[in-house]
Amino acid sequence: MNTETISAIKALLLRVRAKITDDTNVLWVPHETPAALRSDIDDDIALLGELTPDTIHSLRFQYTGPSIFHNVAVCNGWGDEFLELAAEFEKLFIALQTGRAPQTPPAQ
């Protein structure tokens, strides 16, 4: 696995984790507390050391498009930022699946 890509995914996960404070509204997700949500992100970070196609798929599902984290972001005022992060996650997960470097759009 590409360690650069995995490091970039970890950095994005840490950015999402940092957005989830003790004041985060978790009313619309199955987590009872923001701490439980942060704990799930910590578990996801730990998974990066043992990636399989199934874990890549699971992580991709959680951090791109509509997901628990998207719901949290929208309910807490950072939905647009989450969409930007989700686009970055998507590029990185595709890179992991294909074994290629993440694609960046051409400069305009």
Q: How far apart are CA 84 and CA 67, in angstroms?
A: 14
pTM for this prediction: 0.88
C-alpha 3: how far from chain center = 17
Judge whether residue 28 has pLDDT over 80.
yes
What is the predicted pLDDT for the residue at 106? Answer: 45
Residue 45 corresponds to which tokens in the numbers above? 């970070």
**What's the whole-number mean pLDDT along residues 61-80?**
93
Give residues with Cβ within 8 angstroms of 97, minimum separation 6: 53, 56
Q: What is the rounded distance in angstroms from the CA atom of residue 30 to the CA atom of residue 1? A: 32
Domain boundaries, the chain: 3-21+28-98
- Summarize the confidence of residues 90-105 as an average pLDDT: 81
- The pLDDT tens digits of the residues spanning 45-65 come to 999 998 888 998 899 999 998
d(CA 31, CA 13) in angstroms, rounded, equals 17
